[in-house]
Amino acid sequence: MHGNLPVRHGGKIVVDALLRHGVDTVFCLPGESFLGILDALLDTPQIKLVTCRHEAGAAFMAEAYGKLTGKPAVCLVTRGPGACNASIGVHAAKHDSTPMIVLIGHATRYEVQREAFQEIEYRIMFSEITKWVAQVDTVGRIPEFVSRAYQLASSGRMGPVALVLPEDMLEDEIAVPDAPKALPVQPEASPRQMAALRALLEKAQRPFMIVGSPLDDRAVEGLTAFAEANGIPTTIAFRRHDNFDMTSAVYAGDLGYGPIPMDLPERVKQSDLILAVGTRLNTIVTQDFTLFERLGDNQQLVHVHPAAEEIGRLYTPALGIQSGITEFADAARAMKPVDSSHRRKWLEDAHAAYAATLTLTPCDKPFDPGKAMMQLRDWLPDDAIVSVDAGAYSSWPLRFLQFKRPFRALIGSIGAMGSSVPAAVAAAVTYPDRRVVGILGDGSMLMTGQEIATAIQNRVKPIIIVFNNNIYGTIRQNQESKFPGRVYGTDLVNPDFAAWARSFGARGETVTKTEEFLPALERAAASGKAAVIELKVDPDLITARTTLTAIRDKALAAKKK
């Protein structure tokens, strides 16, 4: 039937299908269950293979690549433990709607359903953390499955998909044509819907926009221009820090844990029109589902989302618009602006409250994290890429860094520790000529910090900044709040992170005073290789807003009442 086509083994067919779909990077921890794919990659210089030191690192790298480029990277892992290790990064991609293709090597078809070595039923295991998971049992159908995987990962609400590839299937040989390249599909807002939106904006006295979802540059620029033209105060959803121009006069803060500014939730509650763009309106964004208790006559919701099933799932909107966010941003930017002069004070007050949070609070410790992050903000070039991990320390960079494209943020909203170093390595591999900085706590550093070795092996030079306070900060913060003075299990004994970095061949340096930070940054940048800067932070400086002492004293006082 296909006599004029070359005979290829399954691994080669997989790689050719990836290449046809524009895949240029594969993040992998090698396994014997997909040797055919590795063999084919050897002859495919158009695809860069990044060999990682842990499958979680590979998955976090693929997730970061998807955020940066808007297209799926490939995470290639082996069966059993490999797939389990990768699952945390896959879950992060699902939570953040990041496109990713996960290829999982599997036991042979003869062995499956016999509790074979490292066998798991991945169609069950990954069903809750991917958009689609399928097992390819017939070598001739590989092109079909890869094409569908790419289409699903890139369309609508984007996200990860997983293909399970039995080892023996990858060794089968066949002459089969490649499938056509799949093209992402996104819905668009209709003229009628945009007219309805404009009518609601004309009547609104106190509008507010909340921006979520992964966005490309065009979407960010379009939404910023739309908000500015129509005088709409705008906040980002939890940890979506590069989704809007944070230097804009309409930017109003961050609806996250410990919102910035603190009165932001109250302002959103007072609004009479909420334009939710790309956000699922989940627990954190809605402040435990307390923001929209006035929905109805006094407050209306416009919900824009690529996935129809998300619109009205938690809150019934006055207007639902199923649209890709870039497509919506284009339409919103082109819409004739409404007269917003009558609500200028509403806008100015919202922005002023955010601007006030950029003021440093006094610090009597040798190292001032807030001042250091302001120095970092001023030092970074306009096109820098910064990854920030989970943890209480993150309040310092997330408060004082101001993102404006092409300045990019790689910040997961799932709260998974260990993402920052892999994300920084992926960013440096993807954009080797841009300044990349990874920021994380000491707890996260010992989860995936060994991916510094991956940076060295690939000759890329991210700068890793470690906030070392010798505690699991978020848990300690909550311990002191609920069980003041009764801390247990949250103290850490850490290595010398600077010496540890040097053992990989990276530059390593320790900072104990604020005035040492900027010179250390300059030396790291000049070193021409990956670098780690360890910051010795007093554990009492738990967040940018409060101290452990204040949390403990408040909790103790409450118990005495």
Residue 313's pLDDT is 93
Q: Provide the whole-model pTM.
A: 0.96
Q: Is the domain of 417 the same as that of 533?
A: yes
Task: Please check whether residues 281 and 427 belong to one and the same domain.
Answer: no
**Residue 355 confidence (pLDDT):** 96
User: For residue 440, what is the DSSP state?
Assistant: E
**C-alpha 364: how far from its chain's center?**
34
Please check whether residue 239 lies inside any domain of the structure.
yes
Q: Are 176 and 20 in contact (CB under 8 A)?
A: no
Among 112, 142, 173, the domain boundary falls at: 173
Residue 93 lies in a domain: yes
Residue 183 placed within a domain? no
The beta strands (E) that lie in 231-284 are given as 234-237, 251-255, 273-277
- H/E segment holding residue 410: strand 408-411
Which of 326, 352, 378 finishes a domain?
A: 352
Q: What is the pLDDT of residue 126?
A: 96
Task: Tokens for 108, please give them.
Answer: 């042979």
What is the Cα–Cα distance from 417 to 387, expressed in whole angstroms? Answer: 12
pLDDT at 258 (0 to 100): 80
119 with 218, same domain? no
Name the H helices within 234-366: 264-270, 325-334, 344-356
CATH number at residue 443: 3.40.50.970
What CATH number should be reported for the domain holding residue 320?
A: 3.40.50.1220
In this structure, the answer to whether residues 394 and 534 fall within a common structural domain is yes
The answer to the question of residue 209 being in a domain is yes
In a domain, 511, yes or no: yes
Domain count, the chain: 3
Residues 128 and 243 in one domain: no
Measuring CA to CA, which residue among 483, 486, 470 is closest to residue 539? 470
pLDDT at residue 107 in the model = 83
Instruction: Give residue 166's region: left, alpha or beta (phi > 0; psi -120 to 50).
Output: beta
DSSP string, 79-147: TTHHHHHHHHHHHHHHHHT--EEEEEEE--TTTTTS--TT---HHHHTTTTSSEEEE---GGGHHHHHH
Say yes or no: 509 and 421 in one domain.
Answer: yes
Chosen domain end from 298, 319, 352: 352
Range of the domain at 542: 369-560
> For 457, what's the count of Cα atoms within 13 Å in the CB-facing half-sphere?
12
Residues 410 and 480 in one domain: yes
Residues 248 and 309 reside in one and the same domain: yes
Position 360 in a domain: no
pLDDT tens by residue, the chain, 561 residues: 566 899 999 999 999 999 999 999 999 999 999 999 999 999 999 999 999 999 999 999 999 999 999 999 999 999 999 999 999 999 999 999 999 999 999 988 777 777 777 778 899 999 999 999 999 999 999 999 999 999 999 999 999 999 999 999 999 999 999 999 999 999 999 999 999 999 999 999 999 999 998 889 999 999 999 999 999 999 999 999 999 999 999 999 999 888 889 999 999 999 999 999 999 999 999 999 999 888 887 899 999 999 999 999 999 999 999 999 999 999 999 999 999 999 999 999 999 999 999 999 889 999 999 999 999 999 999 999 999 999 999 999 999 999 999 999 999 999 899 999 999 999 999 999 999 999 999 999 999 999 999 999 999 999 999 999 999 999 999 999 999 999 999 999 999 999 999 999 999 999 999 999 999 999 999 999 999 999 999 999 999 999 999 999 999 999 887
- Are residues 547 and 403 part of one domain? yes
User: Does one domain contain both 392 and 535?
Assistant: yes
The answer to whether position 464 is within a domain reads yes
| Bridge partners, 347 (sequence order) | none
Identify whether 178 is part of a domain. no
Same-domain status, 261 and 160? no
Q: So what's the pLDDT on residue 459? A: 98
Same domain as 401, residue 526: yes
SS3 call for 51: strand
CA distance 449 to 503: 12
